[in-house]
Chains A and B, each alone.
Chain A
C-alpha cells in the first residue's frame, strides 16, 4: 500500500491507498521506500520541538504529516505575524521539506486550509473569517474517515457550506456525531485544545489547584510558587533561566500560555515574577484555571557576579532586569545599542547591537561632523548652487526657503559598488558631496549632492537633505 507520494508521483496518478503493484504500473520509474511511521513521528516531534524553541511555547506534532503551532501572541519577537510566518517558511523550506503553512482562528480551520489550499506560501485567514474560508473547502478538509467522506459525497455533499446549511439530525443518525464534532471544532463552536509538547529535560514545576482560580492575583501567587520550585532545580544544575513558559490548564481543556525571555541567565525570583506578572493580564481564565505548569525552556550556565557588598551603589547598576522588562513589552528588537561599522554612506556606518552585548572599547571616528538627527531616507530639496563644488546658496525644504549664510564642505563620500541592494549597484561610481550649511538663524543642516558636479556618470546631480546638526 502506498502511504504517501511526492508531487511528481501524484502527477502520474499515484495516490495514497493504492497497492504498490498498481502504482508501479502507473509510474514505472517509481521509487518505493518502506514507510516508518515511528520514525516519521519522531521526526515530527523533533520539528515541533525546534519550532517550540524558536516560535511559540505551545507546539505539538499532528501525525501523520503536520505540526501544530499556537502562535497567539508570539508575533512580538518577530515584529509581526507575517514576519514570523516568513521566517518559519524560509527555514523549514531550506531543509528541503515541502511545507504549507496556514494560520486561522481554530486548529480545525488551519488544518483544512493548510492541506487544501496549495498556495505555496503562508496563508493567513484573518480573524473572524474562518467560517467563510471553511465554507468553500471540500468536506474532505474536515478530518473525517475516508469512508465517511465517500458516503457524504454520494449523498451530494461536496463542500462544507452544504454541511453547515443541512439539518443536523439525519446526518448524525447516519454517521454519528463525528461529522458535526469536526465541523464545530473547525468553526470554533467547540474548543479543540492542543496538548503541548515540551522538551523532556527542561526544569519544570507543576501545581494542581484545589479550586479553579480566576483572578490575576491568585495566578501571580501560584506563579511565584512555581518559580521558587523551578529555581531550586536550576540551583542544582548551576544554570539560570533564559526563557520561561507558563501554561494555564483551564477547566474547559484549553491551555493558554505565556512566554517571557531574559537577556541574561537569571535565578532572581523577584525579577522572574515581575516579568510573568506583566503578562498575566493577557490570559483569559475562562471558567477557571485548575492547574499551572512552568517550564524553563531555555537555560544557560549562570556566570558569577560580584554583589554590591558595600551597598553604596558605586558599582555599575545591573540593568538586565530593566532591559528584560522593556524587551518583553516592546519586543526585543526595539532595544538596542549602536556600534560603529565600516560603511561608505553615513546611514550604513551605524550598526544595531543587542542592548546587553559586551561593551567593547569601540572607537567611533571623531574627526568628521555628523548630524544628531538623521532623515531616513534623505529627502530631496531644491537648491541654488554653483557647480562644480560650491556650497548651496539657498535651498527649499518642505516648502520653506532657507538662505545659507555659511557653509563647510564638500566632504566626498563614495558608495559601496559591491552592494547590490543599495542604489550603488545601479550607479557603480556613486558619489555624494556633503555640505554642512548654516542657514539664517543659525540652524545647521547636512545637504548632499548626488554626483561630483562634473561627470553625469557619478550621479544625477540632485540635492538631498540628510539631517540636522547641533
Chain B
C-alpha cells in the first residue's frame, strides 16, 4: 500500500519533469476512446500541439475544422495567425466557434506567424492561439512550448500542406496530430452524410501513437464515433439487463 503511494508520487514527479501532465486542466474530446488514451484524460492545455492535414486542400480544411471544434469548447478569445487570407469564417461558426471570438492576424510569412503566435501566447486568458506555418523548427517549437506553459494558453501549430511522407523535424510539441478526410457513410441519396475524418495521433508525450475514425465536429464542436464502426459488445451485454 505504502509503496504504491510512493510509486504514484514518483510517477507524478516524473510526469511533471517531463511536462506530460501540465499544471493546467486537460481538455477532453468527449470521446472516451480518445480521452482514455491521452495522458491526463484529454488534450493538455497550456501546451503546444501540432496539427497537420496533408498536401490535399480537403485534409487541411478538415484539420481547420478539427481545430475550430477544439477551440469552440474553450472559453475566451482565439487568435488565429495566418500567412494569407484563406480561412472562411462561416465554417468556424458551423463548428461552434463563433467568429466574434476569433481575431485573425495576417502575418504574411512563417517567421512572422511564429513571432505573432509567441506574442499571443504571452497573454493569459485566451482560449488558444493557432499559428499556421509551413515548417516548424525545433527551436521555435521550444519557445512556443515554454510560452504556452507559462501563460496556460493552449497553442496549436497548424502545419499547412504538410506531406505525410516527409519526416517532420523534432519538436517540443506535446502531441502531433494528422487529420485526413475519410469516406463518409453512403446514404444512397443525392446528399452527403456527416463527414468522417481519420485523426491520427502521430506522436504524444506519455502515450502511444494511435489513430481513430471519427465523425466530424457538430455545431458545438464535438466529435462523435461513427455508429457503424463502434465496438458493440458492451452495449449487447447491457441489453438483457435492460430487458
Contacts and interface: CB of A to CB of B under 8 A. Distances in A.
- Are A and B co-members of a single complex? yes
A349 B86 CA distance: 14
A6 interface: no
B102 A338 contact: yes
A467 B61 contact: yes
B90 A349 contact: yes
A443 B59 contact: yes
B48 interface: no
Nearest to A313: B125
A350 B102 CA distance: 13
A27 B237 CA distance: 109
A180 B122 CA distance: 55
Contact of B106 (A334, A391, A440, A469): A334
Interface in B62-116: 62, 64-66, 68, 76-77, 79, 85-95, 98-108, 112, 115-116
A371 B61 contact: yes
A353 B216 CA distance: 29
Contact of A469 (B61, B99, B116, B180): B61
B243 interface: no
Interface in A327-353: 329-330, 334-340, 346, 349-350, 352
Contact of A470 (B93, B115, B122, B217): B217
A372 B87 CA distance: 6
Contacts of A352: 104
Contacts of A436: 192
A350 B103 contact: no
Interface in B182-238: 182-184, 186-187, 190-192, 195-197, 216-217, 219
Contacts of A339: 99-100
A337 B65 CA distance: 18
A150 to B, nearest CB: 54
Contacts of A468: 56-58, 60-61
Contacts of B217: 470
Pick the most buried of B64, B88, B100, B217: most chain A CB atoms within 10 A of its CB.
B88
A139 interface: no
Q: How large is the interface on B (under 10, 10 to 19, 20 to 34, 35 or more residues)?
A: 35 or more
A322 B120 contact: yes
A183 to B, nearest CB: 41
A317 B126 contact: yes
A442 B103 contact: no
B119 interface: yes
Contact of A373 (B87, B120, B126): B87
Contacts of A355: 103-104
Contacts of A316: 76-77, 125
B69 to A, nearest CB: 9
A372 B64 contact: yes
B176 to A, nearest CB: 20
Contact of B103 (A319, A375, A391, A406): A319
Given A371-B91, A372-B68, A438-B184, A335 B61 contact: no
A437 to B, nearest CB: 9
Contacts of B61: 371-373, 444, 467-470
A338 B56 contact: no
A443 B124 contact: no
Interface string B152-177: 00000000000000000000000000
A334 B81 CA distance: 10
Nearest to B99: A338
Interface stretch (A13-21, A31-39, A120-128, A357-365): A357-365
B89 A335 contact: no
A390 to B, nearest CB: 9
B173 to A, nearest CB: 22
Given A323-B103, A326-B116, A469-B195, A372 B183 contact: no
B100 A442 contact: no
B131 to A, nearest CB: 12
B101 to A, nearest CB: 8
A405 B216 CA distance: 18
A325 interface: yes
A470 B115 CA distance: 28
A383 B105 CA distance: 36
A381 interface: no
Contacts of A440: 183
A322 B119 CA distance: 8
B123 interface: yes
Contacts of A441: 56, 180-183
Contact of B104 (A338, A340, A359, A370): A338
A468 B101 CA distance: 23
Contact of B107 (A325, A334, A365, A373): A334
Interface in A415-449: 436, 438-445
Given A370-B94, A373-B86, A406-B184, A319 B102 contact: no
B103 A444 contact: no
Given A442-B180, A442-B184, 9 more contacts: A313-B125, A319-B126, A326-B105, A330-B107, A350-B90, A372-B87, A372-B91, A442-B183, A469-B61
Interface of B: 56-62, 64-66, 68, 76-77, 79, 85-95, 98-108, 112, 115-116, 119-120, 122-126, 180-184, 186-187, 190-192, 195-197, 216-217, 219
11 contacts: A322-B120, A326-B105, A338-B89, A338-B99, A359-B101, A364-B98, A371-B61, A371-B91, A442-B182, A469-B61, A470-B91
For the complex of A and B, 5 pairs with smallest distance between CB atoms:
A443-B58, A317-B125, A470-B65, A372-B91, A442-B181
